Chains A and B, each alone.
Chain A
Amino acid sequence: MRLVTGLFRFWFDFVVGDAWEIAAGIVVVIAIGALLAASEALGEEQLTLLVGAGFVLVVGASLYFEARRRARAA
């Protein structure tokens, strides 16, 4: 059991790292992109741009939260 939990923790730390919101944000953006692709609601060129903008938003949000956390700690 300890081996399993240890392995889980190792891979979680490795993939998620110290910014869980980045990993979570990537999954959410890809899931939305997959739904839009399946429904053919947007053309492929619009969809790729939208997904790219989504990743930018994920990093922007993560930086915003980090800056706010550090401002509060200071």
Chain B
Amino acid sequence: MFDKALSYGIVWGFSVCETVDESQRWILSVMQKHGQELVTMLWRILGNDQDVCDAYQSTFLHLAHCQSGQKPRHVKAYIFRTASNVAVSMLRRRLVERKGLSAAIAGGSSGKAVPSVDAVQDVFPSPANEFDSKHLQDILRCYIARLPEHLRDVITLHDLAELPYAQVGRILGISAATARVYRCKAIQLLSVWMSKERQE
């Protein structure tokens, strides 16, 4: 648990955790109000219980230390964007780790290490995996992490957090129509990447 937290750099710059002022009781209210939606979104991005808890904790740590402990004007926008960014960073880190492992296996330099099922699937993608649910979800997560930020934000907020376009627009500071266009572009990009992956 501690190793994992260290590997993801959860504690980052917050060397002293207990620096939250007592006047920050609003954080608990925010947690109560948006916690469920946030956990659902993080679960859909990460797909792992412990990662969700780490990303959630990190989001509220950021919130507690934002603007010297002052409540941000748009709390919901702040926590959703922070949570999304934290989760995507974790996802990228996980992918890099997995890629490193796959490369080690492919190069035969891993010695006696036992490869994980996912790593094997990454190295030897088979047609049987094509419509395998878990494989498809992993591939999608991998490509979502690769999307440009403006497109990724719309996909995570609209498709994974299930927020309506109007709300997504308000959170990202764009119009609902722009959010629709970004979502369309993101889907096109994902479909191209996923098709390429299938051909490879």
A binds B: no
Which residues of A line the B interface, CB within 8 A?
Answer: none
